[in-house]
Amino acid sequence: MEPMTVSDAGRRWLGIAIVVGALYAVVGMASTVLAGAVTSHAHVVWWRWAAFLVSGLVYVTHIAYERFRLGQGVRSTAGHVALGVALGGFGLALAANIRELASAAAYRPRMALALVAWPLLTAVPAFVAALAVAAVLRRGRIPGELS
């Protein structure tokens, strides 16, 4: 397999962040549906932990892909990964707003705040953690990498 050039990586990272963000949202919504279908609290907890584990694997895989396949620098990797997480948070907030609109209760306009809050509340810690992980992975540095 041919290594990617910088221009290829520059074109691909945004699409990957969008796909990863959609994956986070799907995992979150699917685990909610599956947890709602069980009768015991232990099974609800199990589905929540399963979603957490799958999301963690997606997160680590995204960091590794950015660093080793696309050859991104530490800060770029952290930013791209944080964008994927923020898009996932936005997707979940959007789903929550749609569900709120469809519910029998009146829509609460403050739910719209989640469309901004959830991406921010997820992206900031995701950026910091990805920055740390990507820095540790820097030992696997790509020749000619600047940052």
pLDDT digits (tens, 9 = 90+) for 2-54: 555 655 666 799 999 999 999 999 999 999 999 999 999 999 999 999 999 99
Say if residue 66 is exposed, middle or buried (CB neighbours under 10 Å; 0-12, 13-18, 19+).
buried
User: 63-116 pLDDT, tens per residue?
Assistant: 999 999 999 999 999 999 999 999 999 999 999 999 888 887 777 888 889 999
Q: Which of 84, 81, 86 is nearest to 64 (CA)?
A: 81
What whole-number distance in Å separates Cα of residue 147 and Cα of residue 142?
Answer: 10
Cβ(80)–Cβ(72) under 8 Å? yes
pTM to 2 decimal places:
0.84
